[in-house]
Amino acid sequence: MSRKAHSNTNWNWRLLWDLFLTFLRIGAFTIGGGYAMLPLIQKETVEKKKWVGEEEFAEIIGLSQTAPGAIAINSSIYLGYRVAAVPGAIFAVSGMVVPSLVIILTIAVFFDQFSTAPAVKAIFNGVRPAVMGLILAALFKIGKSVLKNRTSIIIFAVMLLIGTFLDLHPVPIILMAALAGIIFLNNKNNKDKEAKKA
């Protein structure tokens, strides 16, 4: 079961520290940022901590994608708030940001010394394919919890084709998917509820 957001603003320091350290690990050990962070966020918050379920995590990713800013930052704010209200959002996003801030400042200072080093280039060339594999693995796990019927699979396939061949911004694609959900899946959910009552 996922943890409900706290309705009060009492500061549970153990929980807040756990949030901070969790997102600190995510920020520190993910190379590539953005979507590359999703597998680790999913593993930490869904599988290990069980703060949210697979379906809610997929919803969080969709909401984070439509909001301005980086998807990793937006999702950390939402997840932190989901677990411990406003203090949780502050600690989660702080943990996510600190590693990037420190690493980028370090790179800025020493950029000229190691930017052309063959070893550095080799490291990143090796890491990038692994990151792609992790992203696909996370998408597979999320997909199992989201693509539960023919309608959702059709919506997924259509939006995938639109995103691939029309090169649209993610926001209109998500809005189209939301409209399709209202038109097709809302009626299906209502029918399922009525069937269960009967």
| Residues contacting residue 68 through CB under 8 Å, at least 6 positions apart | none
Tokens found for residue 124:
């990143």
Of the candidates 175, 173, 143, which has an alpha carbon nearest to the alpha carbon of residue 161?
173
Q: Where are the domains of the chain?
A: 1-146, 147-198
Structure-derived torsion over alpha carbons of residues 153, 158, 160, 165, reported in degrees to the nearest 10: 160
Task: Using the predicted structure, report yes or no on whether residue 1 has a pLDDT greater than 70.
Answer: no
Q: What is the pLDDT of residues 68-112, one digit of tens each?
A: 778 888 999 999 999 999 999 999 999 999 988 888 888 778 777
Distance (Å, rounded) from C-alpha 107 to C-alpha 195?
A: 60
Tokens found for residue 188:
């299906």
Q: What is the pLDDT of residues 143-175, one digit of tens each?
A: 776 777 888 888 888 888 888 888 788 788 888
Query: Do 95 and 19 touch, CB atoms closer than 8 A?
Result: yes
DSSP for 127-164 reads: HHHHHHHHHHHHHHHHHHHH--SHHHHHHHHHHHHHHH
pLDDT for 15 equals: 92
Count of Cβ atoms closer than 10 Å to residue 89 Cβ: 20
pLDDT band, very low/low/confident/very high, at 192 (cuts 50, 70, 90): low
